[in-house]
Amino acid sequence: MEDSTNTIIPSPTDVGALANRINFHTRDAHNKINTFMGIRMAIAMRHGFIYRQGILAYYYVFDAIEQEIDRLLHDPVTEKELQTSTILKQFWLEDFRRSTQIYKDLKLLYSNLFKSTESLNEFLAKFEKPPLLQQFVNDIHENIRKEPCTILSYCHVLYLALFAGGKLIRSNLYRRLGLFPNFERLSQKELVKKGTNFFTFSDLGPTEETRLKLEYKKNYELATRTELTEAQKLQIISVAGGIFDWNFHIVAEIGELNRRELMGKFSFKCVTYVYEEWMSDKDSAFRKAFNTAMLLMLSIIAVWVIYLLVKKNFLSIV
């Protein structure tokens, strides 16, 4: 085999690579969620409370995945779990763990509500997850308990998504410091660093993060190429497609829950949020309902104006 420092593994043209097969079969879903997440992120960047809810949701998602990774690495029982454990050990590094990184962000984002680690931990333990988020967390555990190899679906889709988009998100957050609580003792640079751990894989900078990403992809491919049966690879590809759907649903759920809550509180925040939601989704049921309501209102106003004009003209004749 060629020196890995000069060879990209897997090659983009390697049709047998599991990662490439996942990408090929989920291309449409990937494009759809990219567009959707871009719009939702733009809205979240203008509303700190929405951004914080999104980070909280993904804390539970990655915590569920990493609970299963830890179980498979340290306590595999069945033959399938032992097989998956062997594969994980070939590419998983602690640098990739996200739940502890997200927890650091939550400490900052919720610092105005929870002054101590104990109170934050109690909140996280007792937080009632929205229905779809809870279903996604349950689905993660169920899939992996039933077919341990499907952990590789989550490892590919979610972690590589962060590798790919992390630097861009950090850059956007730097321009949106209003998302974070104000701290007199922290500089802008320190504030962003403390609030973007989710999207950071190394404190050594972009070069080291790129190296980790390439190492992750290379070792993932080398570990999965011969260790899995074709049936297992098809299961992994199938579950990977579902992950895109789940991401779409849990992010949409956050938007829907906020819309319901804010509609009951007429305020500037409500108006701006609803307007942004309306503008971001031209085909949504909400926008169609809004358009219908506006047309009805304009029709009523038009009829009323015509009535007043007719009445005025009639009285002038009389």
126-150 pLDDT tens trace: 999 999 999 999 999 999 999 999 9
Same domain, residue pair 23 and 170: yes
* 121 within domain boundaries: yes
Is residue 314's pLDDT more than 50? Answer: no
Using CA atoms, how far residue 62 sits from 58, 102, 293, in Å, is: 6, 9, 41
Q: Is the pTM of this model over 0.85?
A: no
**Count of CB atoms within 10 A of residue 262's CB?**
19
Q: Which residue has the higher pLDDT, 155 or 285?
A: 155
**Residue corresponding to tokens 């914080």:** 52
How far apart (Å, rounded) are the C-alpha atoms in residues 252 and 312? 51
Task: Give the mean model confidence (pLDDT) for residues 60-74.
Answer: 98
Please tell me whether residues 304 and 318 are part of one structural domain. Answer: yes
| 127 plus 200 within the same structural domain | yes
| 239 and 153 Cβ atoms separated by less than 8 Å | yes
Question: In the Cβ-directed half-sphere of 277, how many Cα atoms lie within 13 Å?
Answer: 27
Q: What pLDDT score was predicted for residue 143?
A: 97
Identify whether the C-beta of residue 253 lies closer than 8 Å to the C-beta of residue 130.
yes
Same domain? For 181 and 307 the reply is: no
Judge if 299 and 230 occupy the same domain. Answer: no
Tell me what pLDDT residue 275 has. Answer: 46
Would you state the pLDDT for residue 101? 96
pLDDT at residue 274, rounded to an integer: 52
10 falls within a domain: no
Give the integer Cα–Cα distance in Å for 70 and 238: 23
Q: What is the DSSP letter of 149?
A: G
Residue 221: give the domain boundaries. 18-281
Task: Please give the structure tokens belonging to residue 15.
Answer: 């049709």
> Tens digit of pLDDT for each residue in 235-256?
999 999 999 999 889 988 988 8
- Whether residue 110 lies inside any domain: the answer is yes
In our burial notation (b when 16+ CB lie closer than 10 A, e otherwise), range 39-69 reads bbbebbbebeebbbbbbbbbbbbbbbbbebb
What is the CATH classification number for the domain harbouring 185? 1.20.910.10
pLDDT band of 111, cuts 50, 70, 90: confident
Q: CA–CA separation, 191 vs 189, rounded Å?
A: 5
Length of the chain: 318
Whether 5 maps to a domain, the answer reads no
Domain annotation covers residue 6:
no
If asked whether residues 180 and 305 sit together in one domain, one would say no
Based on the structure, what is the number of domains in the chain?
2
Q: Is residue 213 part of a domain?
A: yes
Mean pLDDT for 162-171 is 78
